[in-house]
Amino acid sequence: MTLRSKMLSVCADVNDQVAEREELVELIAIALLTRKNLFLLGAPGQAKSYAINAFRSRITGARQFERLLSKQTDEEQLFGRIDLSSLIPGSVPQDVLEKNPQYQEMCGRLKARLANGQSAGDLPEQIERQRKALSELYSGEPKVNTAGKIPEADIVFLDECFKANDGVLNSLLTALNERKYTNEGRTYPIPTISFFAASNEIPNFADPQEKILEALYDRLDLKVVTENISDRAKRLAILRDKQTGRAGQIAASFTLEELKEMQKEVSDIPVSDSVNELADDILCELRKGGVPVSDRKYLNYYLIAQAKAWLSGHTAVEPIDLLALKNYLWQKPGDRAVVEATLNRMCVNPMQDKVNSIQAMALEALNDFDDARESASKPSGEARALQKFRGELVRLYGMQQDLVNAAQSDSERALADSLLEDLEQSNRQASQSVNFTCMPLNELAAMQ
């Protein structure tokens, strides 16, 4: 079974456990494949945490951390507490002793002797000498016990993520953004692949007291909104599974090491210049429509597209894979419809969208020419209007030629050829209206 097949099997297995959460399950996979963070927005009781837990329980070998946040949650509960023994002169932090092979080997031998009724011999003295040697190296250095906390977790789930106090939020921001945590002047790397966070509301960032939450919200790269199950048959199916005990059974899984191999395969998916240009067109269209998309977000879009292409079995990122950006490009829930509509229009048939755009510009130029020709009092005015119009047509002809070169199928080439016919028709119509000889666009372009 290929790595991709294993991932798809896990996605299918989780989807069998929940209803109408296909979008969420795919986003969990994309987040893990790209080491991105995912935010879930929805009312309580919509299986947000259940879906997350169902997915991560199918990754064997992955260390997990989960916490319901509140104002009473402190940093120690998330990142670990100071090992007091590390502050006592001559003492050794417990984790240093646990990770020292010589010390552990001697302790093991001592336990075995005592269990068998044998004499301890000089082992206690050897153990004490080793402990003192370690204390010379590590005594007095503040040490945080991170066992079972975020700094030792591969996957983290934080429920009600915006309910934490300011101190915890500041620490989380660094953890999400830089994958590190600092305590007592010492910085600890965080191996976490993805942070998953859930909430039933988005803070009011216009409120000065909640403004601090905006940076945290921005670092949750992927966002999805959940709804109650709308299909009656699916609700009843889930209910029957719970009643018969079938809910929660695991039928597919993969290991943490396999996930890392999947990430490598995803990063190797090529992204063409034409796809990058399409992504830039989408960026400009969204900004023009009032949807804010930062440069930082745009410059990292390809990771999401690569993951979607990999999941879809594509050998390279295709325009259709950019549809996955519908859960990456919006910040406000009210912008979701605009983002999705823009992506559908520009990615499902990007050639048609570009053809339509050029046709609209040609029509606008023709209308401007007609207005200028009708208002001209002398033939020289008509000639200047035609010259200006031809200049615009030559520019559009250059764009049409770019489409011809970028066409990847017979249907796309046919669209580009049809566009050229439309441009030539406008060229002939304008020339005839002022009794000028019509020159084909390729000849006009060669003269410039």
pLDDT at 211: 83
Band of the pLDDT at 444, cuts 50, 70, 90? Answer: confident
Name the percent of the chain lying above pLDDT 90.
42
pLDDT at 305: 97
Rounded Cα distance between 344 and 320, Å, is 9
Instruction: Please report where in the chains the tokens 């060669």 appear, as a residue.
Output: 446
Rounded Cα distance between 124 and 106, Å, is 9
Least confident of 126-140, 221-235, 432-446: 126-140
pLDDT greater than 80 at residue 378: no
pLDDT digits (tens, 9 = 90+) for 301-352: 999 999 999 999 999 999 999 999 999 999 888 899 999 999 988 887 777 8
Average pLDDT of the chain, as a whole number? 88
pLDDT greater than 80 at residue 93: no
**Rounded to an integer, what is the distance from CA 201 to the centroid of its chain?**
20
Q: How many Cβ atoms from other residues are within 10 Å of residue 142's Cβ?
A: 14
Rounded Cα distance between 424 and 45, Å, is 60
Band of the pLDDT at 414, cuts 50, 70, 90? Answer: confident
Give this prediction's pTM. 0.74
Band of the pLDDT at 142, cuts 50, 70, 90? Answer: low
Rounded Cα distance between 326 and 91, Å, is 55
Write out the two tokens for 165: 């106090």
Rounded Cα distance between 48 and 158, Å, is 11
Rounded Cα distance between 68 and 48, Å, is 13
Do residues 192 and 146 lie in contact, with contact meaning Cβ atoms separated by under 8 Å?
no
pLDDT digits (tens, 9 = 90+) for 159-174: 999 998 888 888 898 8
**Taking the chain, what is the end-to-end CA distance rounded to the nearest angstrom?**
58
pLDDT at 88: 63
pLDDT digits (tens, 9 = 90+) for 239-293: 888 888 777 788 899 999 999 999 999 999 999 998 999 999 999 999 998 999 9
pLDDT at 86: 61
Mean pLDDT of 99-112: 87
pLDDT at 140: 61
Rounded Cα distance between 320 and 351, Å, is 12
Radius of gyration for the chain, computed over Cα atoms and rounded to the nearest angstrom: 31
Name the percent of the chain lying above pLDDT 70.
96
pLDDT greater than 70 at residue 23: yes
Mean pLDDT of 361-379: 86
